[in-house]
Structure 1
């Protein structure tokens, strides 16, 4: 169909101009409104030309029976044009054969040959063009009453008409193929754009998932510890109960605030007057350690960086999340153990972060704190994306060690 994007134009090969723009039809041809207009115009053109040539034949006094028979053949060829979209080559061959004797079939022959040039390979169109040109040699011999010019003039006119139709068809063919190619490229560009958007959304969702895990796992583990303490010590003094309840309330409030902070990127139209809270940096690490100590953990912080605020924001945020996850894992799996946090490095040498605690022995008291089991995987990906590396596992001394190195540009 005219205007449809066909599979032949998907590859956009250098030899596209030699390909058939429309495959052989297999089934009913469905015409668009534009197709109907074109077909009707071509049909009326061929019919009017046949009637004019028949009237000219009658006026010249050519045998009426031969003229009537010629007109009947010409009108049959015109009716055959309605099948030109389904069998263009077969129709062109039939009309060319009829044109060896019928003068009124010339309009249908022009339309059929033009259709083949536009819709089929150049080799097929050239072969039919040669056949039509050869018909110019035969027609004056079979119908000499139609020719009042020298024989060579008829041959020249046959060659000129054939070349004009061929050139016109090739121009239309090239234009249609250009339109198809541009349309196909536009479709591909749209598909690639949708793919890039989908990939960006997927990457953003993965980043948000990592942030939610790093942030909420820490807060919720604190809530679980304090709630467990209240469960195991229901007879605790009122001040201790009030203190634990206050820590639970504060931790829940912080968890909600950080959850809002993480998923704030999902808002389609964030309010300018309510910007998102800044992400934590390495300068917030002492506060994280103090918070864990307040929850009952024994944490020792070894700072070997003079100014934590001097660490770049992106590097400091990644280091903060690594320590946060390390403390969360220690609280889950080795509660009661002493955790050592070591931060060292300098500009140009990189920043190293280490969280070390004794390997847990036995079953921890109380119900286990649930987890997804993907925290270390997320940290590894975070460090890799930042251009660093991460190691974790049991050391020869029996400790569990989480270590990461992140680039710190000079």
Structure 2
């Protein structure tokens, strides 16, 4: 058979006795998965060498056994029949991976019924043991064990000079050569050792192959898991960015709308008051644009949305409330903390909570007093509380909220190990947020 044909029909492992591996799906043996990459020239040469070596070993042992049997006056028809069957089995070893059961049956037939060796049967058993682990392996090993035992029993009853078990043994310089008269249990012990060694080597080879395959599958699964984790992280970053942009736009546009509405209602005020209100609208719009640019900059830099807006913390709450007072919000600010005392993430979330709560109070309860209290310490954490009265007949500002801002704040607080609550308590609406102090 040509080497090119062997590459297509006999996929083998790169090492191990006769390059055994699991194939032969046509005989009920689970075939090994196809290789993921073309084999190298060295691997092809190694595979061909194992196959040629296995066939050559079987043919050599067959010819040697036939010669010894002939010298021992074994009937010629017996020697010829066994030799023909074993020669056919030696050639059939080339296809032991594609048709392991048929090759094994042919290899067992010779030594089981005629005076020949069981080398081909042992090689075929190696191929079967490398392919299956169920009861079929036990049956195959039993058949080869019987074939080896019968073959070695034939060998044991020959004269010592023509027996494989005793050939080359020590003999006296002069005198008659003694007969050994080997016990009949010895061939079966040798057959047992041979079968156990062959099956053990095959199972060891298969275990190594399975381990390599499992490691390959584990590497693939690990890479897939890493890819999925990165996708989830990117999706989470996009959600954070969308939330930040929503909060920024909603708060900015709400302040602009409410300020413009107040300007429309008080259009009769003096020019100076109108100019101040217009300037406030302009500053609010510029602040919103600056925050959006900051968020987009973080997105382009790839640093994640978690850091977006962190430069606004407790020190920015005062400016936020000052801007609210300029448009008519009656807000009181209570705090016992200085800027820089809390962690950057805690300060950022605190600023967002105050901004969202004051904007909602301005939107849903215009003119109602608002109390902002920011307190805490390293042991108890940071507490942000915003209260505003709910008048019985609130003015309709024409702005409808979606509630996503409060949900986003609750998610942010939960992510850092804090809590968030926004609910109506009596005739007040209370927003409470508890955060770790140094987060």
Aligned to 1:14: none
Q: 1:223 aligns with which of 253, 256, 280?
A: 256
SS at match of 1:340: strand
Aligned to 2:346: 315
Q: Does 1:400 align with 2:408?
A: no
Q: TM-score, normalization: structure 1?
A: 0.74
Query: Quick one: structure 1 residues 197 and 71, their matched pair in 2 at CA, closer, same or farther if it must change by over 3 Å?
Result: same
Structure 1 position 115, deviation (Å)? 1.7
Distance 1:222 1:87 in 2: 82
SS at match of 1:337: coil
Aligned pair count reads: 385
SS at match of 2:112: coil
SS at match of 1:344: strand
Aligned to 1:287: 319
Distance 2:302 2:238 in 1: 18
Structure 1 position 287, deviation (Å)? 0.1
State how 1:262-341 maps to structure 2 within 5 Å.
Answer: 262-268=295-301, 279-294=311-326, 296-305=327-336, 307-341=338-372
Aligned to 2:414: 384
Structure 1 position 42, deviation (Å)? 4.9
Aligned to 1:7: none
Aligned to 2:233: 200
Q: Does 1:95 align with 2:126?
A: no
Distance 2:62 2:153 in 1: 19
State how 1:5-404 maps to structure 2 within 5 Å.
Answer: 25=25, 32=35, 40-53=48-61, 55-56=63-64, 62=70, 69-78=81-90, 80-81=92-93, 84-85=96-97, 88=100, 91-101=103-113, 106-121=118-133, 125=137, 127-139=139-151, 148-149=162-163, 155=188, 157-228=190-261, 243-268=276-301, 279-294=311-326, 296-305=327-336, 307-359=338-390, 361=392, 364-365=395-396, 367-369=398-400, 371-396=401-426, 398-404=427-433
Query: Quick one: structure 1 residues 216 and 142, their matched pair in 2 at CA, closer, same or farther if it must change by over 3 Å?
Result: same
SS at match of 2:398: coil
Unaligned ranges ≥5, structure 1 = 4-20
Structure 1 position 117, deviation (Å)? 2.5
Moved more, 37-46 or 187-196: 37-46
Unaligned ranges ≥5, structure 2 = 1-10, 14-20, 167-181
Residues 208-244 of structure 1: CA distance to partner in whole angstroms, max 9, x if unpaired?
A: 3443333332112223334556778899987666555
Query: Quick one: structure 1 residues 57 and 66, their matched pair in 2 at CA, closer, same or farther if it must change by over 3 Å?
Result: same
Distance 2:355 2:370 in 1: 12
Which of the pair has more CA radius of gyration?
A: 2
